[in-house]
Each structure stands twice: as structure tokens, then as C-alpha cells.
Amino acid sequence: MIKIAIAIGILVSVTILMKKQGMSYRQSILKTMYPAIMWSSKGAGKKQTQVNTENKIPNVSFYSLSTKDINGKEFNFAALKGKKVLIVNTASDCGFTGQYEALEKLQEKYAESLVVIGFPANDFKEQETKDNESIAAFCKKNYGVSFPLMAKSIVIKKDQQNEVFKWLSDKSINGWNHQEPAWNFCKYLINEQGTLSHYFPMTVDPMDALVLEAIEKK
């Protein structure tokens, strides 16, 4: 344990000395620690994953939804027909923020068949306090994010919950799932027919075999 503590201390010290431009010290440390965070939580991910095994159809069409993107423009989900969609609630100051990089890799890998969409939110321990413009700049500069980002909003079940996340987390609407995001970087996969097929918790990396298998499933 002492050796581990010393190793972590050295890692943190090096990270502070090599602070990344465009990131706070906290963000630099979290980015460096991300592999260790995922390794320590890997076992929980599979157990918390939820699957629409009965292929229950939503009572409200996914394609009827719309929201504002991070630039304030209307984003209509009808434009996503025929593709799988991975919706993720995101934050800039979270231990799982390193998943931005994996999400970008996922989008590049399945560019023809998948659309990744990020929904910045400040719902967990105030880990996304930036405004929309700053969020967009942070994601582009530090993680090369090119997939669509929506305007910062509320994603958990409370007043003014984003309508998209209301659809994702209310089984009377989506047909089967009542799970709201448990933390930042939870993932919801919608298939080509507009049916919610999977919920992956923050402890499942976007490039995990569980996610890839779900995306590749016909």
C-alpha cells in the first residue's frame, strides 16, 4: 500500500509539473489518472448495464424529439433515422472526463453507422460549471471532440429535466427503461429503428467490448 501511495504521489506531482495547456491542475490530474480510475471500477460496469432484451418499442417516437445544440441551434432527432445513436451526459471536471477521447475514437470507428451526442450537465458535484462556449472549446482543444454537443442542461429527474433525458429515463415513454444517469458519462444506445436498446453506466468505457458488440449488432 505504501508503494502504491508513493507511486500515485509521484504521478500527481509529475502531472502538476506538466500541466496541460487549456486544462486546470485538477483536469490535468484527472486525465492522467483516468486509466487507473477505469481499471479500479471495471468490475461494476457489466453488472450495471441494462439491455432491452424484449425489444420493447417506445410509446413516444425518439425521432419526435428536439433540443438546442451547444451553439443554440435547433437539433432535430428526425435527422438521425437509420443510424444508431449513443447519448452521453458529460462533464469537464470528472474522473471519467477522459472518456471524451474514447467517445471520439468510437465516433471515428463507426462514422457511417453511429452518431455520438454529448449532453454537458452540472448535475453531479458541480463538475461542469463552464458555459456552452467554454465547454465546446475545452472539448475540442483537449480531446479533439468533433461529434455533436448539445447545450448544457439538466439530465437527472428534477425540474427542467432535458426532454431527451426524460425520454431516456421514463419507461412510460421509452417502453422499458427507468434508469436516469447515475453519474457523468452514462451512455444510452438507440438502434436504427429509434428503440432504446442499452444503458451503460459511467464505469463502462466507450470502447469496451460490451459497447462495440451492441453497436455492431444487426
**Catalytic residue numbers, as ranges:** 94
Strands (E) located in the chain: 50-51, 66-68, 74-76, 84-90, 114-120, 187-190, 196-200
157-151-154 Cα angle (round to 5): 15
Task: State the cell numbers at 67.
Answer: 433540443
Are 34 and 97 spatial neighbours (Cβ–Cβ below 8 Å)?
yes
Q: What are phi and psi of 156, to 5 degrees?
A: -90, 170
76/21 Cα distance (integer angstroms): 35
Instruction: Count how many Cα atoms sit within 13 Å of the Cα of residue 104 in the half-sphere of its side chain.
Output: 14
DSSP state of 180: -
Residue type, 28: S
DSSP string, 86-138: EEEEE-SSSTTTTHHHHHHHHHHHTTTTEEEEEEE---STT---S-HHHHHHH
CA distances to 98, 126, 135 from 120, in Å: 14, 11, 8
